[in-house]
């Protein structure tokens, strides 16, 4: 077991994707402060990819972002995956682990992250399962606000639902700033009002990413494009609201040259530096 690495509040990371492996292995020390991977995609992986992961984890701290636990789903929690995930986190000294506030399995995996109804019943259901996950992993986790395009039912707002889950489950939040913007545009709320209602003491880390603009103004969360200006502005606002936290640049496909991604990582560092100069507290 590796002693968990606590990431500095002012740290900027990049997603560890197989399509970037060669570039990441050649990356100079200090180019990023940490790398984030999905344990689900790496558990049990050997060969060249496994060797690359070991090499990178020795050079850069890892954070982990799960994909498959289906926190809000009706199917029983996957205890085998939980045990494997705990072993992976312990092996690589991962202090920061997150999953999605969503479900992805109902009678089998649906291979998408689906939104939960914003109801009191759903709060109780998902909070209880988050508690079971935290017990199984032996650590506190963060849940991410996902992008969504329709909701099955709602008797409260998205941010009220998220806050209720955080309080009931006593867990943290991974605040995805791009998802806040996408959802605000598509579902008719104000992104800045959403950020104002986020409980600062629950925010463990942040994500920024690119999205696609449809001709009719609809936004699609893609993680396949550069971060847009309004999302950078929201990141600055988020730091002002909740403080500086470890922040990841998500890019899942359509990879540009690594230098372009590192320039965006540097923009995160600049935003963190600006917030610090403005007197924003560190988490």
pLDDT tens per residue, range 78-107: 999 999 999 999 999 999 999 999 988 676
pLDDT higher than threshold 90 for residue 224 = no
CATH topology of domain 12-277: TIM Barrel (3.20.20)
Three-class SS of the chain: CCCCECCCCCCEEEECCHHHHHHHHCCCCCCCCEEEECHHHCCCCCHHHHHHHHHHHHHCCEEEECCCCCCCCCCCCCHHHHHHHHHHHHHCCECCEEEECCEEECCCEEEEEECCCECHHHHHHHHHHHHHHHHHHCCCCEEECCCCCCCCCECCCHHHHHHHHHHHHCCEEEEEHHHHHHHHHHHCCCHHHHHHCCCHHHEEEEEEECEEECCCCCEEECCCCCCCHHHHHHHHHHHHHHCECCEEEECCCCCCCHHHHHHHHHHHHHHHHHHHHCCCCEC
Of 54-58, 134-138, 163-167, 278-282, the one with minimum mean pLDDT is 278-282
Q: What is the pLDDT of residue 222?
A: 85
Check residue 72 and give its pLDDT.
94
Name the pTM for this structure: 0.95
So what's the pLDDT on residue 111? Answer: 56
Average pLDDT (23-50) is 96
Q: What's the mean pLDDT in 32-39?
A: 98
Band (pLDDT 50/70/90 cuts) for residue 219 is confident
Confidence of residue 17 (pLDDT cuts 50, 70, 90): very high
How confident is the prediction for the chain on average, in pLDDT? Answer: 93
Residues above pLDDT 90, as percent of the chain = 82
pLDDT greater than 90 at residue 151:
no
Q: Please tell me which residue, 215 or 187, carries the higher pLDDT value.
A: 187
Q: Looking at residue 83, what is its pLDDT?
A: 98
Residue 114's pLDDT is what? Answer: 83
**What pLDDT digit, counting tens, does each position of 108-148 carry?**
666 578 889 999 999 999 999 999 999 999 999 999 999 98
Max mean pLDDT range (94-108, 211-225, 256-270): 256-270
- Residue range 150-172: average pLDDT? 94
């Amino acid at each position: 077991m590796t002693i968990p690495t606590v990431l500095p509040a002012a740290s900027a990371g990049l997603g560890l994707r197989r399509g970037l492996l060669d570039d990441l292995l050649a990356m100079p020390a200090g180019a990023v402060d940490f790398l984030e991977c999905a344990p689900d995609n790496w558990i049990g992986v050997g060969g060249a990819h496994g060797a690359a992961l070991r090499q990178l984890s020795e050079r850069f701290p890892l954070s982990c972002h799960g994909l498959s636990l289906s926190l809000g789903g009706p199917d029983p929690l996957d205890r085998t995956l939980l045990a494997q995930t705990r072993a992976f986190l312990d092996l690589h000294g991962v202090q920061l682990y997150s999953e999605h506030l969503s479900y992805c399995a109902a009678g089998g995996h649906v291979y998408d992250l689906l939104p939960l109804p914003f109801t009191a019943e759903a709060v109780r259901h998902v909070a209880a399962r988050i508690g079971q996950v935290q017990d199984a992993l032996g650590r506190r986790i963060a849940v991410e606000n996902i992008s969504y395009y329709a909701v099955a039912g709602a008797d409260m707002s998205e941010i009220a639902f998220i806050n209720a889950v955080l309080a009931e489950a006593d867990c943290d939040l991974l605040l995805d700033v791009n998802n806040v913007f996408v959802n605000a545009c598509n579902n008719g709320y104000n992104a800045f009002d959403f950020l104002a209602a986020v409980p600062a003491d629950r925010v463990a880390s942040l994500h920024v990413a690119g999205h696609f603009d449809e001709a009719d103004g609809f936004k699609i969360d893609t993680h396949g494009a550069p971060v847009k200006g309004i999302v950078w502005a929201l990141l600055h606002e988020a730091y002002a609201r909740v403080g500086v936290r470890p922040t990841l640049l998500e890019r899942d496909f359509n990879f540009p040259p690594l230098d372009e991604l590192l320039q965006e990582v540097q923009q995160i560092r600049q935003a963190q530096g600006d917030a610090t100069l403005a007197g924003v507290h560190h988490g």
